[in-house]
Amino acid sequence: MNNDKEQTIYDFDFSLLCEYFSSIERQGPGSEEMTKLALSFIDGLTEDSKIADLGCGTGGQTATLAQNIKGRITALDLFPTFIDKLRNRFANLKLSDRVNGIVGSMDELPFSESEFDVIWCEGAIYNIGFKHGLEYWRKFIKTGGYVAVTEASWFTENRPEEIDKFWNEAYSEIDTIPNKVKQMQAAGYIPVATFILPEECWTDNFYTPQKGAQEIFLRNYPGNPTAENLIKYQRHEAELYSKYKQYYGYVFYIGKKISI
């Protein structure tokens, strides 16, 4: 196996993926209203509070957080392009003094124990898995602090095979809401709230804005199989969502760290 060659192909895919997703406002389903709703379950935040926003992307939800709470936010993402965009966004919003964007991995956090009042993560914990993420992040949260994440979840016990197969290949940890809540409790958090993100978070805020971006992207990379496959996959995912949305979606899970 030629690792150098593999690395090159991977780098190319990686930069295309980054380019595609940086051209849209959000990199995952969500909305300002839902971020604010999740925040409403979190009490005791002051200007001295510290919040980490992991897998922040270009900072859609980070902006809502910054505009609705007083503390300082550290926004972390693996992709440098996203962090550059996030920094520009907060420079324009004149909020750079309270929001610090850093490149890093949510699986290897450069933070101290009990550093944060809140760890936030919208549409990104799947990268390291819900269970592992909750367990690993716990030590970085103060006792009495919170974790708030969105996670792909099944709404029913059973579902058609086509969608079951698609999700199990994409993210095998997808599970029902009661099972996710159980994992959160087992990881040392009180499950304070869970709620399902409404459909517009997927359609109006995520899939619809991608339509224009896909046309532009394909025009920029005519005949490029990697680009074409990427768009084909995104379109397939959107079609499956409209066909099977009664069976799954994103759920906000908010937990409070207790001493165990």
Residue 59: left if φ>0, alpha if ψ -120 to 50, beta else—which one? left
Residue 107 is a binding residue for ligand SAH (CB under 6 A):
yes
In the complex, residue closest to ligand SAH by CB? 57
Residue 30 is a binding residue for ligand SAH (CB under 6 A):
yes
Give the whole-angstrom CA distance, residue 61 versus residue 67: 10
Residue 231 is a binding residue for ligand SAH (CB under 6 A):
no
Question: What x-and-dash track marks residues 48-77 binding ligand SAH by CB under 6 A?
Answer: -------xxx--xx--------------xx
**Which residues are paired to 33 by β-bridges?**
none
- Which residue lies nearer to ligand SAH by CB, 24 or 187? 24
CB of 103 to ligand SAH, least distance (A): 9
**Which residues are paired to 188 by β-bridges?**
none
What DSSP character marks residue 157?
S
Residue 27 is a binding residue for ligand SAH (CB under 6 A):
yes
CB of 120 to ligand SAH, least distance (A): 9
Question: For strand 189-196 and strand 248-257, is the pairing parallel, antiparallel, or unpaired?
Answer: antiparallel
The tokens of 50 are what? 């510290």
Give the whole-angstrom CA distance, residue 77 versus residue 88: 15
> Which residues are near ligand SAH by CB under 6 A?
26-28, 30, 55-57, 60-61, 76-79, 82, 105-107, 122-124, 127
